[in-house]
Structure 1
């Protein structure tokens, strides 16, 4: 029997039970009998959550005297593990599992095989449906799928019969009264205050069992069509302009929307007898379970994109179309979601949307790219949000400190507001420095530039008064695209960026993908078993190997720079020959355009990123070929210390102000003296006031940083005497036993220089 036929047989009988006037306990007793008989299983049992414990509510095959007597905590025994992890177990020998617990009152000692599935209500396990058999065997996939479908029906029965306490099931009662603090992962820094609004009003599935399978299938087909129309409409309304990164994000969505495997699984669930809503939810539950098993964060992000689409499809097919965005935000809002697609974020009113808290989310997610461009603080990995935050609760979001306070006391709210007000005052003061050039006290002009990756980021030049774009990350367009961006699309983006920058320089870094910035359409270029992807097949290495990719980008940049100055920088150069090979690609494309009588850039300056320590040993060979050099402190630090910056345990272990880093950077500066090459620091290090002070002290005169840091760094520069800080740094670096961070902090405080 097929999975669909087996499930349909069970559903037909369950439908009759649910439609009967029988009391709830009687219905559960009938259900275990139907499931056990249909799967020829000697035991079928239902456990439900009550008073924080999983209680045996009904059984066929175990001792009836154990009903309402046997109870287990969440996480206790096999049943507790299923509920705790919201996962399926399928065991040929139950006793071999490390979490197995024997309950003598049930009489289950003679049964060996065990399979169990969670009963899920509003995304949380509220019970467990399990079967057992005397003979040791693993249950077949068809049987597991039948159990999972039955569990969906049970969820509806349990909720309607009020067999569980909804607040207890959702973990609300104890945690949703009084102040609470959430911690998570900083995705986009910033402070925000607002009222909690859930992004996705719950879609209530009122009918699980289908009356007409073909009618349900047609409803799903129509919903797919409407969903695709919505994404097409969003593309046309892109705030970043047609052809921008947002359109690329939506193209990735389209790829998932047309995925045959996804639609096939939904159709198979309908074949089993489920309504369109229940079928989508059934497949979505399976996706969530898969996500819990995925260790690859990039693959998990793509699965989140698929879930985002599933939520949209479910709302369409149910007629419950509105997200909080469509209903409109009426107050300053902190948006709450499990995860959020970038397309959905763009639907919100920016005037009201102050911050976002995600139960999941990662630094590589598409939504983070868009949120950073919009200037919206985002806190991710905030587990248990739904059990802590109610709709309408006041939330103080400190994404910089990776925390949020819910329902704060008056004193906590006042303290936060005072801090927030000071932040706004500082921002206002920094804004006044927009047109002030950053000269030190001794009269040296320091260049302060911004890092960017979206065309919208270029507006920060005017707002901050920065000297230009020291790093434009061209890979953002590649990361949010479902396919390799066409040359024409790349040209349009680069031309728009140059137009927006006006007479200020923009340094375009050629594409840096691979490693932690994987893209599906180049998956074959990257080794699956790359144990250290940050040090693997990525950036210039990958681009030189993909000749077409490098040529297309070179041509796009040259065409975009026609009639003006063009600055091009190559990432992750390890040896001079790599720079030569990359420049040759540009020279060949330049010759081609010249042969076609095309308008060419007035001047082209080439530079390199110093991220790989090996390059510092051959700078004397490379410098004569360069116009500028940018030290990428983010990657350089992890390479010098052999410490993955994505590892939270190691992230705080190695200090940018350690003698090893500062001595290395000073040596780079010293070896560049007299070369005529501008040397800059490009990365987070230059945007932190204390670290920037140290960089000035060892000889750096150009910093490329986040737009938000421009004001604070300008203000810092104007208080510094370079001779004084240089002398201090020289003294401290001669004695490695000195705590430079402490000494530098004291030095700054003595001179009234505020540090981070």
Structure 2
């Protein structure tokens, strides 16, 4: 029997039960019988959340004396685990699961197989629906889907019969009254103060079981047409101009709106007997469950796009159209959402929208690309926020530090306002340095460049007065695309970047993708799952294997730089032959263009990223072939210490001012003496004032940092005398103090150099 047929059989019986004048307990007893019979299962049990515990409310197959007697805490036993994690369990042998808990009063000892699904009401688990069987077997997918559909209908039956405490369902605890600091993941930096606004008012589904299946199908078709019209209109009304990465994001988003597989799944749910609204919600629940199982952040982001569209479709079909955006923001607001699609963010009034806090979200998500272009700070991974605050409460968003303050007290608001004002003052002071060249007090010119990855980032070049772009991450264009960007599109991006830069240099880093930045269209078939993707098949390793990929990028870069200077940098070079092989690809494309009488770049300079420590041991071999070398401190640090920088347990363990790192950089500086190689440092280390001070003391004279750090680092440079700093650094590294950070801080303080 198909999933739709199984569900239809159950829903037909449930429809009769819900329409009957039977009391609530009798309805639940009858539902347990219907599910048991339809799935040919010997046990069906319904547990409901009551006073913080799961209570056995109805059963077919277990001892009736256990009803209203058997109770389990959230997280206790298999049933409690389902409720705690809001995830399905399907076990051939229940006792083999580590969370199995035997309750003798139920008489369940003879049953081996077990399957259960959460009963969810208004995004909160309010119960669990379970089935069991004597013979050990895993339940079929069609049976699980039928259970999930049943649980959805059950949630409405339970709520309408007041079998759950709605306040308890929405939040097991009460809203707090005291200030609370909640940490998250910084997605877009910035400070913001405003009132909490929930992005998505709940769409109430009044009827779950369909009266007329064909009528429901037509309602969905009409809703799809209207949703697609909205998305089409939005893609031509974006205000950032033509050709930005945000445009590619919206094109990917549009692709999902026209996805036939999605509409087919909703149709199948309607076939099972659900209304249009319930069918969309059913497919959306399935999407959420899949998202929990996805390790790949890029695929997860695409699932978030699909959920965003599901929310839009649900509002259209229900007639409950409107997010907080369409209702209008009446005051400065911080938007709260589980996740957010790029199209929905664009609907908000930018004058009132001050910040965004997401319960999910990731650094590579599409909404981050658009938020950065809009200049809106975003904090992600702040779980369960909607259950902890009321709409309209004041919030302090500090996306620089990765925290949001709930219910701030008046002194906290005053301090935040003072900090915001001070930040504005500092930015104004740094802006005055835009056209000032950064010379040290002893007269050494330090080159301060910026990192970029989007066309929209390039506006910061003029705003900050950076000397150029020391690192342009070309992979961003690939990360936001649904398919491999064609050569013409790559060429257009690179040419635009060079046009904006004008006479200032731009260093293009070739594709650093793969490992933890894999995209679906470049996924290798059948390859083993990488246990440590940061040290896996990524960057130049992947590009040399898929030479066609590097050839296309080489051609695009060479054509874009026609009549200009081109600086190309290869990432994650481990051995000299890798650099040579990558350079050969570019030289071959250069020869091809020359043979076709195409205009060529005036000069092509090749460089490498030093991220893999092994490369430092063979610099004497590689240096004669290099025009420039850039030390990538982010990856270098994790490789030196064998410490995954994405692991929060290790994130703060290894200090950039550790003697090991500083001595390593000192050795690189020394090994390049006598070679005509420009040495720079790119990464977060160079953008922090105290760390930048250490780098200057090591002899580093070129930095490539985030645009926001350019002004502060320029200001720092003008206060430093290298004739004092360098000898001090040499002494400290010869005999490292207990804390290099403390020594540098003391040294700076004595010279009135602010290192914050």
TM interval, shorter chain, is over 0.9
Unaligned runs of at least 5 residues, structure 2: none
Deviation per CA, 1:191-225: give whole Å up to 9, x if none: 22111112222222122111222232233334334
Say yes or no: does 1:480 pair with 2:480. yes
Please say if residues 683 and 705 of structure 1, whose CA atoms lie closer than 8 Å, have aligned partners that are also in contact: yes
State the secondary structure of the residue aligned to 1:712. Answer: helix
Deviation (angstroms), 1:456: 0.9
Give me the whole-angstrom Cα distance separating, in 2, the residues matched to 1:532 and 1:133: 41
Q: Secondary structure at the match of 1:98?
A: coil
Name the CA distance, whole Å, in 1 between partners of 2:542 and 2:136: 51
Conserved 8 A contact 2:244-2:456:
no
- How many Å separate the matches in 2 of 1:90 and 1:578? 48
Residue 39 of structure 1: how far off its partner (Å): 3.0
Q: Distance in 1 between matches of 2:583 and 2:589?
A: 10
| Larger displacement relative to structure 2 (745-754 or 20-29) | 20-29
Name the counterpart of 2:184. 184
Q: CA deviation digits over 1:38-76, x for unaligned, max 9?
A: 334443332221221222333334444443333221112
CA distance in 2: counterparts of 1:575 and 1:115, whole angstroms? 53
Instruction: From the superposition, tell whether residues 444 and 136 of structure 1 become closer, same or farther in structure 2 (CA, over 3 Å).
Output: closer
Whole-Å separation in 2 of the counterparts to 1:441 and 1:679: 21
Q: Which residue of the partner structure matches residue 530 of structure 2?
A: 530
State the 1:394 CA deviation.
0.8
Kindly indicate whether the alpha-carbon contact (under 8 Å) linking 2:447 and 2:702 is maintained by their aligned counterparts in 1.
yes
- Where structure 1 has 5 or more consecutive residues not aligned to the other structure, the ranges are none
1:315 deviation in Å? 2.6
Q: Distance in 1 between matches of 2:444 and 2:139?
A: 76
Could you tell me how far apart the structure 2 residues matched to 1:162 and 1:435 are?
Answer: 68
2:458 match: 458
Mark the CA change 1:498 to 1:409 in structure 2 (over 3 Å): closer, same or farther. Answer: same
Change (3 A) 1:97 1:682: closer
How far did 1:522 drift?
0.8
**Larger CA deviation: 184-193 vs 56-65:** 56-65
What SS does structure 1 have at the residue aligned with 2:460? Answer: helix
* Equivalent position of 1:320 in the other structure: 320
Q: 1:740 to 1:327 in 2, by over 3 A?
A: same
- Offset of residue 709 of structure 1: 0.5
When structure 1 is superposed on structure 2, of 674-683 and 235-244 the one drifting more is 235-244
For 1:646-697, what per-residue CA distance to the aligned partner results, in whole angstroms no more than 9, with x for missing partners? 1222222211111121111112222223323221111110000000000000
Q: CA deviation at 1:720?
A: 0.5
Q: Which residue of 1 aligns with 2:263?
A: 263
Question: Take 1:61 and 1:612, find their aligned partners in 2: how far apart are those partners?
Answer: 62
The equivalent of 1:391 in structure 2 is 391
Which whole-Å CA distance do the structure 1 matches of 2:183 and 2:588 have between them? 52
Aligned residue for 1:650, secondary structure, equals coil
**Deviations, residues 269-302 of structure 1 (Å, cap 9, x unaligned):** 1111111221121122122222223334344333
Cα drift, residue 307 of structure 1: 2.3
Q: Which residue does the alignment assign to 1:278?
A: 278
Match of 2:116 in 1: 116
Deviation at 1:399, TM superposition (A): 2.3
Distance change >3 Å, CA 105–CA 516, structure 1 → 2: closer
Question: How far 1:717 moved relative to its partner?
Answer: 0.7
3-state DSSP of counterpart to 1:288: helix
459-468 or 367-376, which deviates more: 367-376
Helix, strand or coil at the partner of 2:347:
coil
Contact 1:213 1:271 in 2 (8 A): yes
* 1:45–1:59 CA contact under 8 A, matched in 2: yes
Contact 2:573 2:608 in 1 (8 A): yes
Partner of 1:663: 663
Q: Deviations over 1:405-444 (max 9, x none)?
A: 1111222222322333322222222222222221111121
Contact 1:633–1:683 at 8 Å: present in 2 too?
A: yes
Please state if 1:80 is matched with 2:80.
yes
Alpha-carbon displacement from aligned partner over 1:590-618 (angstroms, at most 9, x marks no partner): 33333333333333332222222222223
Structure 1 pair 591–266 and aligned structure 2 pair: CA distance change class (3 A): same
Quote the offset at 1:108 in angstroms.
4.0
Q: Is the contact made by 1:236 and 1:242 (CA closer than 8 Å) also made in structure 2? A: no
Equivalent position of 2:448 in the other structure: 448
What is the distance in 1 between the residues matched to 2:104 and 2:35?
24
Per-residue CA shift, 1:209-254, capped at 9, x if unaligned?
A: 1122223223333433443443333332344433331232233334
1:585 pairs with 2:585: yes
Q: 1:233 to 1:674 in 2, by over 3 A?
A: farther
Confirm or deny: 8 A CA contact 1:246 1:343 kept in the other structure.
Answer: no
**Conserved? CA contact 1:235–1:246, under 8 Å:** no
Tell me the residue number matched to 2:413. 413
Alignment-derived partner of residue 725 in structure 2: 725
Whether the 8 Å CA contact 2:175–2:390 is kept in 1: the answer is no
Distance of 1:156 and 1:742 partners within structure 2: 61
Q: Deviations over 1:335-362 (max 9, x none)?
A: 1111222333333333322222111122
Distance 1:380 1:108, change over 3 A: same
Secondary structure in 1 aligned to 2:524?
helix
Residue 84 of structure 1 and its aligned partner are, at CA, apart by: 1.0
Partners in 2 of 1:527 and 1:323 — Cα distance? 43
Deviations 1:539-597 (A, max 9, x none): 12222232222222222222222233322222222233322332232223233333333
SS at match of 1:46: strand
Residues 575/110 of structure 1: CA separation in 2 closer, same or farther (3 Å cut):
closer
Q: 1:264 to 1:328 in 2, by over 3 A?
A: same
2:601 is aligned to 601
The SS at the match of 1:648 is coil
Select between 133-142 and 423-432 the one with higher mean Cα deviation.
133-142
Q: Is the 8 A contact 2:199 2:323 kept in 1?
A: yes
Give the Cα–Cα distance (whole angstroms) in 1 for the partners of residues 135 and 524 of structure 2. Answer: 45
Stretch of structure 1 that moved more, 459-468 or 66-75: 66-75
1:192-211 equivalences in 2 (<5 Å): 192-211=192-211
User: Is the CA contact 2:509–2:569 (under 8 Å) kept in the aligned structure 1?
Assistant: yes
Deviation of residue 121 (structure 1)? 0.7
1:695-724 Cα offsets, whole Å, 9 max, x none, are 000001111100111111111111100111
Q: Distance in 2 between matches of 1:588 and 1:140?
A: 56
Question: Closer, same or farther in 2 for the Cα pair 1:175/1:164, shift >3 Å?
Answer: same
Paired residue secondary structure (1:31) = helix
Which range is displaced more, 417-426 or 675-684? 417-426
Seen in structure 2, the aligned counterparts of structure 1 residues 203 and 536 have a Cα distance that, compared at 3 Å, is same
Q: CA deviation at 1:471?
A: 0.9
Q: CA shift at 1:468, angstroms? A: 1.1
Instruction: Show the 5 A alignment for 1:364-403.
Output: 364-403=364-403
Query: For the structure 1 residues 479 and 139, does the alpha-carbon distance in structure 2 shift closer, same or farther, using more than 3 Å as the test?
Result: closer
**In 2 relative to 1, CA 623–332 (structure 1 residues): closer, same or farther, beyond 3 Å?**
same
> Post-superposition shift, 1:146?
2.0
Secondary structure in structure 2 of the residue aligned to 1:651? coil
Q: What does residue 685 of structure 2 align with?
A: 685
Aligned partners of 2:245 and 2:369 also within 8 Å: no
In the alignment, the residues of structure 2 paired with residue 301 and residue 183 of structure 1 have an alpha-carbon distance, to the nearest angstrom, of: 21
CA contact (8 A) 1:176 1:390 kept: no
Q: Tell me: CA distance 1:94–1:677, structure 2 relative to 1, closer, same or farther (3 Å).
A: closer
CA deviations on 1:78-133 (whole Å, 9 max, x unpaired) are: 22111111122233444443333344444444544433221101121111122334
Q: 1:667 and 1:588, CA in 2 relative to 1: closer, same or farther beyond 3 A? A: same
CA distance in 1, matches of 2:477, 2:624: 32
Q: Distance in 2 between matches of 1:228 and 1:617?
A: 57
State how far apart, in whole Å, the 2-side matches of 1:18 and 1:657 are: 68
> Mean alpha-carbon deviation: is it higher for 506-515 or for 216-225?
216-225
Change (3 A) 1:138 1:679: closer
| Cα pair distance change 1:683/1:527, threshold 3 Å | farther
Report the CA distance shift for 1:417/1:497 in structure 2 as closer, same or farther (over 3 A): same
Write the mapping of 1:91-130 to structure 2, written as runs, cut at 5 A: 91-130=91-130
In 2, Cα distance between the equivalents of 1:110 and 1:52? 29
